[in-house]
Structure 1
Amino acid sequence: MNQHEWWRGAVIYQIYPRSFYDANNDGVGDLRGISEKLDYIADLGVDAIWISPFFKSPMKDFGYDISDYKAVDPLFGNMDDFDHLLEKAHKLGLKVMIDQVLSHTSDQHEWFAESRQNRLNPKADWYVWADSKADGMPPNNWLSIFGGMGWKWDSRRQQYYLHNFLSSQPDLNFHNPEVQKAVLENVEYWLKKGVDGLRLDAVNFCFHDKFLRDNPAKPIHERNGRGFSPDNPYAYQYHYHNNTQPENLAFIESLRQLLDKYPGTTALGEISSEDSIQTMAEYTADNKRLHMAYSFELLTDDFTVEHISNTVKQLENTMKDGWPCWAISNHDVERVVTRWGKDNASDKQLAKMLTVLVSSLKGTVCSYQGEELGLEEAYVSFEQLQDPYGIEFWPKFKGRDGCRTPMPWQESESEAGFSDSKPWLPIPADHRALSVDQQSGDPKSILTFYQSWMKWRSKQDILKLGDIEFISVNESVLCFERSFEGKTWLVALNLSAEEQNFESEAELQAIKLAFDLSQGQKDKNLITLPRYAVYMAEKVS
C-alpha cells in the first residue's frame, strides 16, 4: 500500500447535517448549510469531511433508516445542493466521504414494501424472514440494540423479520446475491458522482447466521462492555450469530473491487463486534478488503493510560495489513470532554490535550463537529428528547441527543446563529459562550489551537505515518514514541488534572509548539507535566 495515499493519517471532520447549519431556517441543518460553512471547515486544517446520512428517509433513526439510497431527502435539500457541495469542497482541497448504511433499510423502502406482500414475490427473499416457533414466539433469542426482541411480526406474510436496530429498520438478507448486487449498484451511484470515500455504518452487521442459532448468554460480570450498559438486555448476550459472519468477508472484497475502479477512493468501516480489534484486522486484511476501520474502544468511559495504550498495542499486534482510524467522539456517544473529563469538562487544557492525543496516535482521525470548540455534552430533558434509543432507556441512559445539539456559530444571535427558527434540538446556554464567533481570533481559545495544531500536524509525516511504541511511565501519563524515516519523537500526555513527573535518560530536544498549549518541561532527567499538559521532543541520539 502506498503510504502517501491521502487517507493515511488524514483528519476526517464528521458533519451531522441536522445540527451543523440551517440555511433555509426550518430548524434543521441542510446541505446548503454545509456548503456555506465549507470555508470554516477548510480553515480547521482537516483533510476531509464525512457527512452523516442525508438520503431520503422517514427519519425514525434520523437518516440511518434509508428509503431511497439515490435520493436526497427534501429535509436536507436536493441533488443540486449535494453536487454544489461536492464541487466547492473539492475546490477548497477537501475530500468528501458519505455514510453508507448497507445492512438494513427503512421499512418504507420500496424493496421492503414488495418483500412483505407475500412469500412468492421477486423480492420475497431480500430481507431476513423466518417462521415463528410452534408457540408463536420469534425464531430465536436475538435482541435489538435499541431494546426488546430483534424480530417483528408481519401479518401479511405471517412471519417475523429481523431488525438489529429499530423495528422500522428491517435487515437485508445478504445471503441473496441479488441483494449484494443491488447494494453495490447503490454505492457505485455515488462513486460515479465523485465522492472520495465511504464511511460504512455497522458494516459487520450485513450477514446473519443462516441457521438462526440462538446467541449464548453472557455472564453478569461481562455485561458492561462494548458500550452497552447492563440496563439494556442487549448486554446479556454474546452476539455471535446476528452479526460478524464469515460470509461478510467475501462481500467486503467485492466492495473493495468496486472502489478500486475509482482510484483515490477509500472505505472506512465502523466495527462493533464481540472482539472488535480482531474484526478490524480481518476486515482490513490482505489489501483487498476495507482500507480502514474504527471501533468503539476509545468511545467508552475508560479514560486511562492502561486502556488507551492496551487498545492501540492490541490493534498494532493484530492488524498487519490494514490501517487504523481513531475517534474519541461521534454522533452516538457522550461528548469526550464530558465523558473523559467528568468534573473538569470545561477545562480548556483538557480539550486541547485530547485533540493532541487522538491525532498523535498512529492512524487516521475522525473528529466530530464541535470538538474543535470544546463542546460539552448538552442536557436534554425527557420532554425534548428526539432519540428513540434514549426514550426507550430513560432515565439511566439518556440517548444520543446530548451530543447532537446544533453547532453554536454566533453567541448573541437567535438560536446561536444556527437558524432563525426553533431548532430540532435545544442549544444549551453554555454552548453559546463557546460559539465560533467568540473563539475565532482568540489566541488562547480551543478553536484557534485546533486550527493551528491541525495545520502544523498536516506537515508532520512522523505523526501521520510513523510507527508507534508505548513507554510505561506512570498511571496518569500516556507516553509513546513515533518513528519515521530515521527520526523518533517522544510524546507524553498528562491525562490528569494534577501535575505529573517522570524520569527519562534519553537525550531529547523539545519541539517548540507555537500555539497556546500547556507544555511539559525537561530539567536534567526529570520531565514535569502540568495538568493536561503535553511534552513532545525529538530523540537526538
Structure 2
Amino acid sequence: MAKASNNNWWRGGVIYQIYPRSYADSNGDGIGDLEGITAKLDYVADLGADGIWLSPFFKSPMKDFGYDVSDYCDVDPMFGTIADFKKLVERAHALGLKVMIDQVLSHSSDQHPWFVESRSSLDNPKADWYIWADAKSDGTPPNNWLSIFGGSAWQWDTRRCQYYMHNFLTSQPDLNFHNPEVQDALLATVKFWLELGVDGYRLDTANFYFHDAQLRDNPARGRPDGEDPAVNAVNPYGWQWHKYDKSQPENLAFLRRLRALLDEYPNTTMVGEIGDDDGLARVAEYTSGGDKLHMAYCFDLLGTAHTAAHFRSFVKRFEEVAPGGWPCWALSNHDVVRVASRWGTSAPTAAPALLRLGAALQMSLRGSPCIYQGDELGLPEADIAFEDLQDPYGITMWPEFKGRDGCRTPMPWKAGASDLGFSSASSSAKPWLPVAATHRGLTADAQLQDAGSLLHFYRQLLRWRKTRPSLVSGTLEVLEAHPQVLAYVRRFEGETTLCVFNFSPEAVQWTVPAEFASLSLVDGSGLAQVHLQNAGLALPAWGGAFLGAA
C-alpha cells in the first residue's frame, strides 16, 4: 500500500508527556482523568509544545498503573470514556496539538481475556499467545532471566503446570511475538486508535517484543558500577548482559510491520522506548532506513551525570552511530527521579540556572525534545512515606530504592488550594498520591505571574526555538573538548547556530573558534546574559549562549 503523506511534524517537534493519573482531576475522586487533561490543553499549547504523549488510560486492573492492559480498545472508567477521549483529541487538534498515546505491546495484564484463555489449558486456541515453558527437571525455571521488578522472570502456573515469562510484575505476562496471530491482534489494536484520530504512539519497551526462542541463559555481567548505583546495588537485573531476553533480531521485522501500518495514516509517528545494554546503538538500529521507528529514546539524559564531558561523549557517539537516526531527548519521565533532584548535588534541588541550561541543551540537540509534566516548573522529586507508596517496584525494593512515585505526584496548579489545584471539583477525596509540600512554591499560577520564573523561561525558549530552523532541523557537529564547556554547531540551509554551555558551577572564559568569529550573540532564548569580548565568551556558572549570524 502507498504511504500516506507525512508533514514530519514530529521531526524536531516538542512533545509534552502527560501522566493522566496525576495531571488534573475533573470529578474530585482523587485521580486525574481525560476531562481534566482536556481542560488543561490550553496550558500545553501556550507552553509552545507541538504535541502531547498520554501515558496509558486503557482498561486495566492498575497493578502497574495502566502498563498492565486488560482491554487495548477501551478507556478505563477511572479516566472516562471513549467519548471523552474523542473530545480530548478534537480539542487538542483545534489548538494545533498532536496526540500520541502510550501503546504497551510487549505484555498485557493477567486479567486480559487472551491470557485467561491461554492459561486455561495446553491446547486452547490461544495456548501459544504467551511465553510458556516447562520447568527444569529439578522444578526450577527454564533459565536465568530476571524480572526488572525483582526476582525471576518466570512465574509458575498451576493450571498448565508450566512457567510463564514476565519481564515486569507477575501480573504482566509477556506476549509471544513469535506467533503471527499475536502480531496481527496487536496491530489491530494499534489501528483502532489510528481510526479514532491519534497522531502517533509512544511504544513502551519497544525492544522487548521478542525473546530468544531457544531460551538460552543470559551471560553474567557482575555487579555494575553505573549511572544509577542506588538501583544497581539492590536490583540484580543489571547484573546480567541481556543478550537473549530482549533486543532480538526478529524485532526489526515487527517494527517494519508497525511502520507500514502507520504509513497508511497521514502525518503519524512513533517513538520507541529503548532499555538496552547499549541504548544508543539500539536507537540507531531501530530508527535507520525510514522503515521502522520514526524516533526512539534511551536513558542517556536520564541519569545523574550532567557534566560537559558526559554530554559530549553521548552526543558524539550518537552522531557517529546514528547519523541518519532521529532521537527523542527527555530530561525526566514517569520512570525516573525528576531532573531537579537528580542534578542536585549539595542541595535538595539543582540550581535554577542549571535547570535553564538543561532545557537549553535539550531544545538545541538534534532530535525531538520531550518535556515531562512539571519539568517546566522545576519540580523536585517528592519524598513519599512508605505507607503512601503505590508503586510495586518501590514497595519491593524499599528502602534502598523508593520506586517511581516521587516523580508521579499530582501536578501543582494553584498555590492557594489544599491540593494545589489538582482537583477542579469540590471533594474530600484524597489524591491517589500525596501532594508534595515542596511543590507549593512552584505552582503554575504563581509562575505565570512571575516573569523571571522557569515556566516563563520555557515558554520563551520554545517560542524562540521555532524561529531558528537550524535548531529544529539542522545537522549537529560537536566542537573540541573543554573540561567545563559543551559546544556544538547546528546548520540548516545557510543558517548557523553555535550552542555553548558551561556545565560547571564555576565561571569560565571560552574562546570562540576562528571559523565562528563573525557570529554574534543571538537574543531571544532567555538564557542569562553573557559577554562576548575579543572572540571570547565570559560564561557564568551554569551559563550558556547561542551565537548566530547578525
Scaled by the length of structure 2, what TM-score is found?
0.95
**Within 5 A, what are the aligned runs for 1:3-14?**
5-14=8-17
* d(CA) in 2 for partners of 1:320, 1:444: 38
Q: Are 2:72 and 1:69 aligned? A: yes
In the other structure, the counterpart of 1:459 is 467
Number of corresponding residues: 540
Alignment deviations for residues 294-329 of structure 1 (CA, whole Å, 9 cap, x no partner): 111111112121221211221111124331111110
In the other structure, the counterpart of 1:371 is 375
Q: CA deviation at 1:346?
A: 5.1
SS of corresponding position for 1:501: strand
Checking the alignment, whether the CA contact within 8 Å between 1:196 and 1:266 is kept in structure 2 is: yes
* d(CA) in 1 for partners of 2:397, 2:85: 35
In the other structure, the counterpart of 2:316 is 313
Instruction: Rate the CA distance shift 1:4–1:306 in 2: closer, same or farther, 3 A.
Output: farther
Alignment match of 2:430 (pick from 422, 434, 452) = 422
Q: Are 2:527 and 1:524 aligned? A: no
Q: CA deviation at 1:537?
A: 0.7
**Within 5 A, what are the aligned runs for 1:155-174?**
155-174=158-177
More deviation in 100-109 or 214-223? 214-223
* d(CA) in 1 for partners of 2:226, 2:214: 26
**Within 5 A, what are the aligned runs for 1:282-321?**
282-321=285-324
* d(CA) in 1 for partners of 2:433, 2:148: 23
Instruction: Rate the CA distance shift 1:406–1:497 in 2: closer, same or farther, 3 A.
Output: same
Structure 2 stretches of 5 or more lacking a match?
Answer: none
**Within 5 A, what are the aligned runs for 1:501-512?**
501-504=509-512, 505=514, 506-512=516-522
Q: CA deviation at 1:146?
A: 0.3
SS of corresponding position for 2:281: helix
More deviation in 134-143 or 530-539? 530-539
* d(CA) in 1 for partners of 2:525, 2:187: 45
In the other structure, the counterpart of 2:508 is 500
Q: CA deviation at 1:89?
A: 0.2
Q: Are 2:492 and 1:484 aligned? A: yes
SS of corresponding position for 1:96: strand
* d(CA) in 2 for partners of 1:223, 1:536: 32
Q: Are 2:355 and 1:351 aligned? A: yes
Checking the alignment, whether the CA contact within 8 Å between 2:220 and 2:239 is kept in structure 1 is: yes
Q: Are 2:103 and 1:100 aligned? A: yes
Alignment match of 1:382 (pick from 382, 386, 396) = 386
Checking the alignment, whether the CA contact within 8 Å between 1:227 and 1:300 is kept in structure 2 is: no
Alignment match of 1:537 (pick from 515, 540, 547) = 547
Checking the alignment, whether the CA contact within 8 Å between 1:144 and 1:150 is kept in structure 2 is: yes
Q: Are 2:84 and 1:81 aligned? A: yes
In the other structure, the counterpart of 1:245 is 248
* d(CA) in 2 for partners of 1:55, 1:67: 8
Q: CA deviation at 1:249?
A: 0.5
SS of corresponding position for 2:261: helix
* d(CA) in 1 for partners of 2:206, 2:230: 17
C-alpha root-mean-square deviation of aligned residues, in Å?
Answer: 1.7
Alignment match of 2:447 (pick from 412, 415, 439) = 439
In the other structure, the counterpart of 2:340 is 337
SS of corresponding position for 2:478: strand
Report sequence identity in percent: 54
Q: Are 2:116 and 1:123 aligned? A: no
Q: CA deviation at 1:223?
A: 6.2
Alignment match of 1:281 (pick from 284, 291, 295) = 284
* d(CA) in 2 for partners of 1:410, 1:148: 42
Q: CA deviation at 1:293?
A: 0.7
Q: CA deviation at 1:501?
A: 1.7
* d(CA) in 1 for partners of 2:496, 2:466: 17
* d(CA) in 1 for partners of 2:519, 2:413: 40
Q: Are 2:513 and 1:513 aligned? A: no
Q: CA deviation at 1:508?
A: 4.1
Structure 1 stretches of 5 or more lacking a match?
Answer: none
Q: Are 2:404 and 1:400 aligned? A: yes
SS of corresponding position for 1:166: coil
Checking the alignment, whether the CA contact within 8 Å between 2:61 and 2:70 is kept in structure 1 is: yes
* d(CA) in 2 for partners of 1:221, 1:135: 30
